[in-house]
Structure 1
């Protein structure tokens, strides 16, 4: 039996992510994997969307600016530089225990690699710090290659970790994905998708859950985009059992 620790969408709040990893005994103060992670007893899952702060306030905090302006190239430079610095540290953390640290490709990560899609917020701000056509920087080649290596899902027996949902269409961030409302609604309108996919349990992000992690015991799923609410998910899994999920709980930190 192994412990799986899943962390919701980061959106460039790396200080909060490291606080969660340390609270979960997954990272040392120096940002290295702890002995249980090195041994593979703890499996770390980041559910995607490493990049792009969620709003202007978060961009300002990241850059140290009193107010962030996405049309100002100097501001974009600072936003890109700070994210690159943190991505380098996270990459080193994963490379120190690649057998136990897994990062799912989120749609915001994909948008950095494929800049034909300009993502934004409900407040009208756009995420263009890694888009040179809009005044941003190009993500360094080694970080882009690392990000391209992220899987779109992780399966442990009949347990799935994915960014959006169990639907294959929701793992490809194309025109149809962005025109469709179901990626944000499926877990309330059609939670039976998990069982229909032949899964015993599913863990997903993408949709921000304001009240903390959403656990649906009836439909065997967890929505974990709740890092901002200072919660991560802990699962005990034994893939060799008929009921592989032994325990699921939201953990505050």
Structure 2
């Protein structure tokens, strides 16, 4: 039996991420993996999108300015450097227990390491802090290499952890992904995708659902983009059992 602690899209809310890891007994006060994580009894899964705050208010908080301005190169550099420092801490945490800490590649992470697309917030603010052509600060090479190594999904005993959905097409962030509405709507319109994929259970982020983590017991999946609601997912998995998922719940912290 292993416990999986899955945490939804971070979007540069690093203080809340560490609070979740400490609450789940997965990180100590110094940001190091706890003994259950080091032993592999606890498996940590970050569902992707480590970077890019969700709105202007969060950019201002992260950057230490009163009002964030994407046209101000200083503001872009402040935002980039704050994220770089935090990413270095997450990288060190994973490297201390690589067998037990899994980070899924989200579309925002992908856009930083392979800048084919300029993403933005729902309010129209563009994520330019890692773009030197707009006055931002490029992500250091070691962090680029680290993020390029993030898997697009993690599977064990029929349980899938992926950023957007169970569809193979949604593992790649290309023109079709961004032109298609289904990565954001599938869990409402076609929840049977999990059944069609032959999965025991699926865990996904990418789409924030009102009310925090959404558990669909009928179709056996969870939507966990709920870090801002201070919730993470706890899943007990026994690969030796016919029904490997022995328990799943949303945990407030």
Give the TM-score taking structure 2 as reference length.
Answer: 0.99
Moved over 4 A (4+): none
Q: CA deviation at 1:210?
A: 2.7
What corresponds to 1:170 in structure 2?
170
Q: CA deviation at 1:244?
A: 0.4
- 1:82-101 alignment to 2 at 5 Å? 82-101=82-101
- 1:35-184 alignment to 2 at 5 Å? 35-184=35-184
Q: CA deviation at 1:157?
A: 1.5
1:185 aligns with 2:185: yes
Distance 1:23 1:164 in 2: 25
CA contact (8 A) 1:8 1:48 kept: yes
1:24 aligns with 2:24: yes
CA contact (8 A) 1:234 1:249 kept: yes
CA contact (8 A) 1:210 1:229 kept: no
What corresponds to 1:232 in structure 2?
232
Distance 2:200 2:40 in 1: 22
- Residues 209-228 of structure 1 show CA distances to partners (whole Å, capped at 9, x for unaligned) of 23110000000000000000
What corresponds to 1:206 in structure 2?
206
- Residues 152-183 of structure 1 show CA distances to partners (whole Å, capped at 9, x for unaligned) of 00001100000000101101000110000000
Q: CA deviation at 1:133?
A: 2.2
- Residues 38-67 of structure 1 show CA distances to partners (whole Å, capped at 9, x for unaligned) of 000000000000000000000011011001
What corresponds to 2:13 in structure 1?
13
What is the root-mean-square deviation of aligned Cα atoms in Å? 0.6
Q: CA deviation at 1:239?
A: 1.3
SS in structure 2 opposite 1:186?
helix
Q: CA deviation at 1:141?
A: 0.3
What corresponds to 2:247 in structure 1?
247
Give the TM-score taking structure 1 as reference length.
Answer: 0.99
Q: Give unpaired runs (5+ residues) of structure 2.
A: none
SS in structure 2 opposite 1:232?
strand
Distance 1:233 1:122 in 2: 25
Distance 1:71 1:107 in 2: 24
> Number of residues paired by the alignment?
253
SS in structure 2 opposite 1:99?
coil
SS in structure 2 opposite 1:44?
strand
- Residues 47-97 of structure 1 show CA distances to partners (whole Å, capped at 9, x for unaligned) of 000000000000011011001001111000000000000000000000000
SS in structure 2 opposite 1:40?
coil
SS in structure 2 opposite 1:20?
helix
Distance 1:116 1:100 in 2: 31
Q: CA deviation at 1:136?
A: 1.3
SS in structure 2 opposite 1:251?
strand
Distance 1:67 1:214 in 2: 33
Distance 2:133 2:176 in 1: 23
Distance 1:49 1:101 in 2: 15
